[in-house]
Amino acid sequence: MLDYDLHCHSTVSDGLLSPTDLVARAAERGVKILALTDHDDLGGLTEAAQAAARHEMQLINGVEISVSWRSHTVHIVGLHINPADAALQAGLQSIRAGRGTRAELMADSLARAGIGGALEGAYRYATNPGIIGRTHFARFLVERGHAKDVRSVFKNYLVKGKPGYVAHQWATLADAIQWIQGSGGIAVLAHPGRYTAGRKPMGRTTLRELLAEFAELGGRGIEVVSGSHTPPQYAEFARYATEFGLLSSCGSDFHGPGESYRDLGRLPDLPLECKPIWQAWETTQH
Ligand code: AMP
Ligand code: MN
Ligand code: MN
Ligand code: MN
């Protein structure tokens, strides 16, 4: 079992716990090294670091950047980023700027499907309105009885071809990697098993092209053990890590009690052939 958890969310993006409560929960569950990786925002890192110090836990400054690659939305996690870096901050600000208009269009789309009040309803769940996103709409749809839980919402709403879906242009892959690495951080391709083409998984050829481009642009790691992956996918993505010379990362992608596939920490070991992502920072320190 790993005492690393390198992917999770607080109320600064679409998680349910404050950075302080998130860190406390991780500590209680045996996490020793935690990366807070809120979507497109660094606003939780100071509070999380203060909480981590109280729990004798190491807090890694992280972020999860939304990227448009071809017709796909993909997520790039940055680890050990520098929250004071101006280019990174400006890049994330440019992503956040698009979320407000997108939310209005999402609400319009839901209204056309007969669901009114979605904009106000979603913002009530967004502790940080700058990061308004699909999870907040999903919570509103559950509240109104349109689905039994947040996960089920994404079967009938907010995804391509369904009410509430709005195509959106996020950052480019090259920019996201540059912002992360330019600030001294390490870029990691998040949950590759979750990417889809329409309703089908992204084809292997396309995934290989994504990984080749990601590595070419300076990307260093890939999430192998993820709360979004099944055990057979751990093995599958370990093979991709080896093939593309990438380090392997692990993270729960925890969003909140009762809402996520996995709780914080207690993640299974990386497959034996993997080179863990922490080699990227631990080897330079000794
Ligand atoms: P956004 O960045 O606004 O498009 O929202 C993306 C977020 O929606 C993800 O980070 C997840 O938290 C959530 N999400 C997307 N797909 C699903 C799903 N199938 N089940 C649960 N949550 C999902
Ligand atoms: Mn999320
Ligand atoms: Mn993600
Ligand atoms: Mn995430």
86 & 183 share domain: yes
**Distance set, CA 66 to CA 96, 99, 265 (Å):** 10, 11, 24
Nearest CA to ligand 1 atom 4: 134
Spatial contact of 88 and 81, defined as CB atoms under 8 Å apart? yes
Kindly identify the ligand whose nearest atom is closest to the C-alpha of 7: 4
Q: What is the 3-state secondary structure (H, E, C) of 96-155?
A: HHHHHHHHHHHHHHHHHCCCCCHHHHHHCCCCCHHHCCHHHHHHHHHHCCCCCCHHHHHH
The yes-or-no verdict on residue 192 having pLDDT over 90 is yes
CATH number at residue 198: 3.20.20.140
Give the rounded percent of residues in the chain with a pLDDT score beyond 70. Answer: 99
Spatial contact of 247 and 241, defined as CB atoms under 8 Å apart? yes
The rounded distance, in Å, linking the Cα atoms of 126 and 137 is 9
Kindly identify the ligand whose nearest atom is closest to the C-alpha of 138: 1
Instruction: Specify the pLDDT at position 76.
Output: 99
Task: Output the six-digit token pair for 208.
Answer: 């290989």
Q: What is the pLDDT of residues 240-268, one digit of tens each?
A: 999 999 999 999 999 999 998 899 999 99
244 located within any domain: yes
182 & 264 share domain: yes
* Ramachandran category for residue 30: left, alpha or beta (phi over 0 → left; psi -120 to 50 → alpha): left
Phi, psi of 2 (to 5 degrees): -95, 145
Structural element, H or E, at residue 156: helix 150-156
CATH number at residue 151: 1.10.150.650
Closest ligand 1 atom to the C-alpha of 135?
8
261 & 152 share domain: no
Q: How many domains does the chain have?
A: 2
239 & 280 share domain: yes
pTM: predicted TM-score of the whole model, two decimal places = 0.97
Nearest CA to ligand 1 atom 13: 135
181 & 259 share domain: yes
Between helix 173-182 and helix 204-216 the angle, nearest 10°, is: 40
The yes-or-no verdict on residue 197 having pLDDT over 80 is no
235 & 122 share domain: no
Nearest CA to ligand 1 atom 9: 135
The rounded distance, in Å, linking the Cα atoms of 180 and 176 is 6
162 located within any domain: no
29 & 110 share domain: no
110 & 65 share domain: no
Distance 197 CA to ligand 3 centre (A): 16
Distance 53 CA to ligand 1 centre (A): 30
Nearest CA to ligand 1 atom 22: 151
Spatial contact of 192 and 222, defined as CB atoms under 8 Å apart? yes
Contacts of 163 (CB under 8 A, 6+ apart): 109, 110, 112, 113, 115, 156, 157
Give the rounded percent of residues in the chain with a pLDDT score beyond 90. Answer: 95
CA 157 to the chain's CA centroid: 20
14 & 123 share domain: no
Q: What is the pLDDT of residues 136-172, one digit of tens each?
A: 999 999 999 999 999 999 999 999 999 999 999 999 9
161 located within any domain: no
74 & 190 share domain: yes
Candidate of 151, 154, 261 to mutate for ligand 1, largest count of ligand atoms within 8 Å of Cβ: 154
Kindly identify the ligand whose nearest atom is closest to the C-alpha of 252: 4
Residues with CB under 6 A from ligand 1: 14, 39, 66, 133-135, 150-151, 154, 255
Candidate of 64, 73, 125, 135 to mutate for ligand 1, largest count of ligand atoms within 8 Å of Cβ: 135
The yes-or-no verdict on residue 182 having pLDDT over 80 is yes
86 & 215 share domain: yes
Nearest CA to ligand 1 atom 21: 151
261 located within any domain: yes
251 & 130 share domain: no
Kindly identify the ligand whose nearest atom is closest to the C-alpha of 132: 1
Domain limits at 118? 99-156
Task: Output the six-digit token pair for 12.
Answer: 């600064």
Q: Mind giving me the DSSP string for 20-50? A: HHHHHHHHHTT-SEEEE--BT--TTHHHHHH
**Four-CA torsion 215, 221, 224, 228, nearest 10 degrees:** -90
Spatial contact of 250 and 5, defined as CB atoms under 8 Å apart? yes
198 located within any domain: yes
The yes-or-no verdict on residue 85 having pLDDT over 70 is yes
Nearest CA to ligand 1 atom 5: 134
Closest ligand 1 atom to the C-alpha of 259?
21
The yes-or-no verdict on residue 89 having pLDDT over 80 is yes
